A and B are shown apart, each in its own frame.
Chain A
Amino acid sequence: MKVLVPVKRVVDYNVKVRVKSDQTGVELANIKMSMNPFDEIAVEEAIRLKEKGIATEVVVVSIGVQQCTETLRTALAMGADRGILVQTDVTTESLAVAKVLAKIAAEEAPGLIILGKQAIDDDANQTGQMLAGLLGWAQGTFASKVDPQGDTVNVTREIDGGLETVALKLPAIVTTDLRLNEPRYASLPNIMKAKSKPIANKTPADYGVDMTPRLTTLKVTEPAKRQAGIKVKSVDELVAKLKEMGAVA
């Protein structure tokens, strides 16, 4: 079984993002970029499936600017087998990404597509679901356990009430939650090897997808600054204050 893992290049999670002065977005120039952490979990899961002999090949795909090659190399250094770069300079919106991925899925015919449940830049949490819709495949989102059995996969999902396990017919879509696994650090020999693993260069046009953004961002602003609090001396005073503010009845 082939496993396809889409990986997104996002602002590194350690970076404190700043809003651009013209409020059109956040500052991205010359800022450390890394693989979306949920996607790292997806790559790790795919590699583990390969190590268990369940997956035969792990293909990673990134859609975005030329530098997404670095993100692909990171995945290759972790242990993925080959990469596909779909190069575009436009803002990547979930639906357009899902459409490109659907075309790639048709070409590559993977048994599983494992995506991060969301990307930490726009937190959309919908690409995997849209992709499942476009392909008409089953989906297991927010996975904390992925267990393929023959032509099905059991996916344990993290839901509000606890854990839910669903059995999906393959091919299927899985999106990863934080507790699925702890991604490995790329080893030095694998970083060296990743250099010579193939990356195919494509464009959205190759897949007949128009990625022109459909959303217009009106304005991006910083979250409101936290106001200074007040200190209370006792629980009674706290309750009184809360009542005063109308926070409790």
Chain B
Amino acid sequence: MPFYRAPVKDTLFVLEAVAGLYNQSHVPGFEAVSPDLVEAVLNEGGKFCAEVLAPLNLPGDQQGCTRHPDGSVTAPDGFKAAYKAFCDGGWGGLIASEHHGGQGLPYTIGAVMQEFIAASNMAFGMYPGLSEGAQAAIEVVGSPEQKAKWLPNMVQGRWTGTMNLTEPHCGTDLGLIRTRAEPNADGSYAITGTKIFISAGEHDLSENIIHLVLAKTPGAPDSVKGISLFIVPKFIVHDDGSLGARNAVSCGSIEHKMGIHGNATCVMNYDGATGYMLGEEMKGLAAMFIMMNAARLGVGIQGLAQADAAYQNAVEYAKGRLQGRSLTGPKNPEGKADPIIVHPDVRRMLMDARAFTEAMRALVLWGAIRVDLSRKAPDAAEREMADNLISLLTPVIKGYGTDRGYEVATNCQQVLGGHGYIAEWGMEQFVRDARIAMIYEGTNGIQALDLVGRKLGAKGGRGTQAWLSLVGSDLAAAAADDRLAFLTAPLGKALADVQAGIMWLLQNGMANPDNAGAGATAFMRMLGHAALGHMWLKMAMASQAALDAGTTDPDFHTAKLITARYFAARVLPETASLRAQLEAGADVVMALPEAMF
């Protein structure tokens, strides 16, 4: 049975040294955010995740969800009680506004908890996670009446929410949506159609399920411009808040799938179900994207989370498993063999993992602060700057974060040898669970296209410029310190590769868009490496400063510098080959005629 411990110490370091959480007191909602409070919240939240959610992960995977003949669905044993404890503990309302019964804490703290929750039990975390996305959309585009009607119970967790985009014939291309919304006399709509792959579409954790459904009104254009967003509750809610009749929406079946078995992936049938338009007609996709951007960050966090859970267990195993002797002579002479952590190839996998998780956590939280600033900074220029940066990095956090998270999870599985393949150790589950994060919420291919096709050039490339100059100025600030040259030099090169890549895309992507399409994934990985390198630079600077100041925790900061060195030497150089891939252009990718496949 795998274990999980919330990485509270590393997170506190990142929040202070990289994300600058405590320098935002000018932002509403941050006044009360003190190191003491954050530490208490993360300690208690981490404890809840490790002791209540993590033990349900493996059994939840093995049991999965059950759809009963009457169409009801039950989550694995223990999920319902854990969900109640989660809600009673107020964790579902962490970032929700106090106005609706939440605690109004920064999104950044919410992002930390998302990591802890996803690392301890990703399938469980999706129930409240999707609900939070739905709440965000209602909060932003809902009318005051809608907010008052739906949000308080959702914040409390008594009701959960879902996102209904996908249909059998349309996933990536939402313009193809067929679900119809016919106006009723009372101003509501009758929703008819079939949605598939709806996470948490039906389950027994909450009293009501609030579906947010994309559908087309009569006569709407047959493209993404014709899509509207609707609130469709499982049970009709009376004006006094009490639950009424069952709505005409039902779960037709649940999918058998590779991972996240504890989360019900549902076919949802809408047969003239009563729905209420959320936001403006035919602006549904824009409204959905409000939750999509946060949801994409959330999925990137899932990649980080699975990697970290796998890493923690791999380290534990590598220290205890005795096999073979160190190439440089026995390290455990009293035993018959050395622990496998002495073998450089095992170290490689562990160092890869750690160099990724620590920097990815930093990138996520650095990005999360930008989300907070983009929403709440008093100064419009600061809001815009933050928004430009996080818009650029959202596809990177989602796409790169989950590609690498999956790789790391697989490598950590490898550390356990054959036992990594055996269910009871939990490693193969981390790998299976991590896999979906590369697919849903916009496949990683689509993330890469979003990055090169939209985000790089958005607003005349302002976000891109801002990010490049931020990294550049941190590099300049570190240049004076020779002790950091091990990192500044390779990061400088990686940044140059990214800049060259951007130039190449500008010159070649316009002439032949397939050039951009063919190189997008390589470019996203290149930018991801550089972004993590930037995070390592920030962490290395902070740790070097802490060591210089005679920190009481030298081991922690020394480990940071050693891991930074690994990342600089073993990961950053890959940007050169990624650049070569990009610059090879579309021709090598597209040359083989379709008929010859």
Contact = CB atoms under 8 A, between A and B. Distances in A.
A29 B553 contact: yes
A76 to B, nearest CB: 9
A77 B85 contact: no
B502 interface: no
Q: Most chain-B Cβ atoms within 10 A of its Cβ — which of A29, A74, A188?
A: A188
A230 interface: no
B85 to A, nearest CB: 7
Interface in B6-60: 8-9, 32, 34, 36-37, 39-41, 43-45, 47-48, 51-52
A218 interface: no
Given A29-B552, A30-B555, A188 B36 contact: no
B91 interface: yes
B333 to A, nearest CB: 13
A68 to B, nearest CB: 13
A70 B40 contact: yes
| Of B40, B51, B91, B93, most A-chain CB atoms within 10 Å | B40
A191 B48 contact: no
A185 B40 contact: no
A77 B40 contact: yes
A185 B37 contact: no
A32 B43 CA distance: 10
Nearest to B86: A185
Given A14-B5, A73-B36, A185-B89, A191 B552 contact: no
Contact of A192 (B5, B8, B48, B103): B103
Contact of B89 (A30, A70, A74, A188): A188
Interface in A161-220: 185-189, 191-192, 194-195
Contacts, number: 56
A41 to B, nearest CB: 15
Interface in B557-581: none
Interface residues of A, number: 18
Interface string B66-107: 000000000000000000010011110110000000010000
B421 interface: no
A186 B44 contact: yes
B41 A191 contact: yes
Contacts of A189: 90, 103
A103 B47 CA distance: 34
Given A30-B553, A189-B103, A195 B37 contact: yes
A66 B55 CA distance: 34
Contact of B48 (A14, A29, A185): A185
A191 B88 contact: no
A202 B258 CA distance: 58
B85 A185 contact: yes
Interface string B131-163: 000000000000000000000000000000000
A195 B8 CA distance: 19
Contact of B91 (A32, A73, A188, A225): A188
Contacts of B91: 188
Nearest to A196: B32
Contact of A188 (B39, B45, B47, B552): B45
Contact of B44 (A29, A191, A195): A191
Interface of B: 5, 8-9, 32, 34, 36-37, 39-41, 43-45, 47-48, 51-52, 85, 88-91, 93-94, 103, 334, 552-553, 555-556
Given A192-B37, A195-B37, A195-B40, 12 more contacts: A30-B553, A74-B40, A185-B44, A185-B47, A186-B89, A187-B88, A187-B89, A188-B94, A191-B40, A191-B41, A195-B34, A225-B334
Shortest 7 CB-CB contacts between residues of A and residues of B: A188-B90, A30-B553, A187-B89, A186-B44, A189-B90, A187-B90, A185-B48
26 contacts: A29-B553, A30-B552, A30-B553, A30-B556, A32-B9, A70-B40, A73-B36, A73-B40, A74-B40, A74-B44, A185-B51, A186-B89, A187-B88, A187-B90, A188-B41, A188-B90, A188-B93, A188-B94, A189-B90, A191-B37, A191-B40, A192-B37, A194-B40, A195-B34, A195-B37, A195-B40
